[in-house]
Structure 1
Amino acid sequence: MRAADGLFSLIAGAALALLPGLARADCTDITFDAIPFTLCDVAAGDDLRLFLNGEDGAVHGSFARIEAALAARGEVLVFAMNAGMYHPDRRPVGLYVQDGEELRGIVTSAGPGNFGMLPNGVFCIREAGFAVIESRAFAAAAPACLHATQSGPMLVIDGELHPRFLPDSDSTLLRNGVGVSADGQRAVFAISNRPVTFHQFGRLFRDHLALPQALYFDGNVSRLHVPGQGRSDWGRPMGPVIGLVRAGPAGG
């Protein structure tokens, strides 16, 4: 993280700390199977958005740049995390919808890497709530999404773990993703605070959170930003970012 980015995040965190009733994220640290995770809950109707490019067309790339863009409109970023895989130029690998506009089309073919480990899926923010939908089902009957990001693999599919997850895998990374309740009224964003396997991460959503659908975001650039709690993970520039927005001091 650049020094200027870090300073902006510290200032934003201090401002949020003075506004506990206005912009607190419902993010909590939990332990599941002796593994530490952070969970952030969002309810249908909350102002959850995807972010990629600024008004100048350049990729935001950092939490601080998103915060600066929101601050100019009297808004604050309550929490955020990276939200889907991207190419070296930070273009999304798969489907990407922002403010109702499709900027990248859906990819339904198998391929290399985690994204291509079918079934993969789409996280969709709708007027009435949230959904995680398997990519081919989404392509066959796409719902209207205000925001949507495709990633993979699916972690939980109709209450079952992805069939390729191995209990004895030795592939561990910091991982993040999202799960959605059966009624679509709750989305839970999770990040592991130490390296975990796919199987362990999927079980968090299935066994601890009892969420029937869950989607993997990434395991190489997993980062969480919760300024009101003094957390802002640093790392290389990101592509798509998802964040909860609320009115700041200027917006009342």
Structure 2
Amino acid sequence: MIFPHLFPRLASPLIVLAAILLAACSPAPAQACTPVSFDGAPYTVCTFDTAGADIRLFLNDPDGAPYGQFDRLADALESEGKTLAFAMNGGMYHDDRRAVGLYVEEGHQVAPLVRSAGPGNFGMLPNGVFWIDGPAAGIAETSAYDTRFPVTQPRFATQSGPMLVLDGALHPDFNEDGPSRKRRNGVGLSADGRQVYFAISDAPVNFHSFARLFRDQLGTPNALYLDGVVSRLYAPDLKRDESGLDMGPIVAVVESRAAAP
């Protein structure tokens, strides 16, 4: 053991050396969004702590017009002293940008829950709901969500479909050799409910491969498809701000100006 008061000239260099070694060994700050390769296809996965991240849904601006673009939402948040830290498509929508299924924003139900089967991906039962309520978040099959929230609604919720993974099992209609390959985005939740994973494919993939990304790579027992073809990403970590046709619901992570890098 070295006593600094007995060997001051020796202690000082040792302290400096220890600090250098500690800095060298400390991991770099983790980025929220990172490129991931799975089953031969490129993806981007953005991971957030459900208790620490301010995850929200956005559809219309204060004047009632759809935000439509990430930049419009970012500008609106900036005027409130906030920063858009992440965003992607938050569910399917009609031509006028109204949500197809249940949509809840700030506790207000804008569109009702759709309980029946229907055409397209949305109606491929089982479908489900991604919801956020304070530090808690969940992904539930539609009937299970209906049972959990029979009257009151969480702070945010968006219904979409199909479920990619339900209680550890892939959607029964998915085929490993499915020919429909498109760009897709979705959301999954860790088994303990503490981590939410937003993923987007950076190349066309089928449903089976996309679902396996969540179950086999990310380890999520439940995952929900959000959108396809028009899917895009806002990820400042990766200098990505993708534009295109106006979209409907947007899922986002918001930071205060002081917390932003």
Q: Specify if TM > 0.5.
A: yes
- Between the aligned partners of 1:78 and 1:242, the Cα distance in structure 2 is 11
Which residue is equivalent to 1:211? 220
Residues 23-81 of structure 1: per-residue CA shift (max 9 Å, x gap): x9510001011111000001122111100010111110000110111001110001100
Q: Distance in 2 between matches of 1:199 and 1:244?
A: 28
Kept after mapping to 2: 8 A contact 1:129/1:186: no
Larger Rg: 2
Q: Specify whether residues 214 and 250 from structure 1 end up closer, same or farther in structure 2 by C-alpha distance, changes over 3 A only.
A: closer
State the Cα distance separating 1:111 from its structure 2 match. 0.3
**Alignment correspondent of 2:47:** 41
Cα 1:25–1:52 change in 2 (3 A) is farther
> Normalized against structure 1, the TM-score is what?
0.87
Give the distance between the partners of 2:209 and 2:198, measured in 1 at CA.
15
- Tell me what 2:100 maps to: 93
SS across alignment from 1:140:
helix
- RMSD (Å), alpha carbons: 1.8
The gaps in structure 2 that reach 5 residues or longer are 1-29
Distance 2:238 2:81 in 1: 20
Counterpart AA for 1:92: A
Quote the offset at 1:220 in angstroms: 2.0
Q: Letter of the aligned partner of 1:123 in structure 2?
A: F
Match of 1:173 among 182, 191, 213: 182
Question: Counterparts in 2 of 1:10-89, with a 5 A limit?
Answer: 26-45=32-51, 46-89=53-96
Distance 1:95 1:196 in 2: 26
Choose which of 228, 234, 239 in structure 2 pairs with 1:225.
234
Task: Please list, as runs of the form range in 1=range in 2, the aligned pairs for 1:45-194 lying within 5 A after superposition.
Answer: 45=51, 46-142=53-149, 144-194=153-203
TM-score norm. by structure 2 comes to 0.85
Q: Aligned partners of 1:124, 1:29: CA distance in 2, in Å?
A: 25
Q: What amino acid maps onto 2:102 in structure 1? A: L
What amino acid is the match of 2:197? V
Identity %: 52
State how many pairs are aligned: 230
Structure 2 counterpart of 1:191, one-letter code: I
What is the distance in 2 between the residues matched to 1:162 and 1:52? Answer: 28
Deviation at 1:127, TM superposition (A): 2.0
- The residue number in structure 1 matching 2:21 is none
2:50 maps to amino acid: A
Residue type matched to 1:203 in 2? R
Q: 1: CA distance between counterparts of 2:252 and 2:188?
A: 15
Aligned to 1:7: none
1:138 to partner: Cα distance: 1.2
Instruction: Give, in whole Å, the separation in 1 of the partners of 2:242 and 2:31.
Output: 16
* Alpha-carbon distance in 1 for matches of 2:155, 2:201: 28
* Structure 1 residue 251 displacement after superposition: 9.0
Q: CA deviation at 1:137?
A: 1.5
Tell me the CA shift for residue 185 of structure 1.
1.2
* Structure 1 stretches of 4+ moved >6 Å: none
- Kindly state the Cα deviation for residue 147 of structure 1 after the two structures are TM-superposed: 0.6
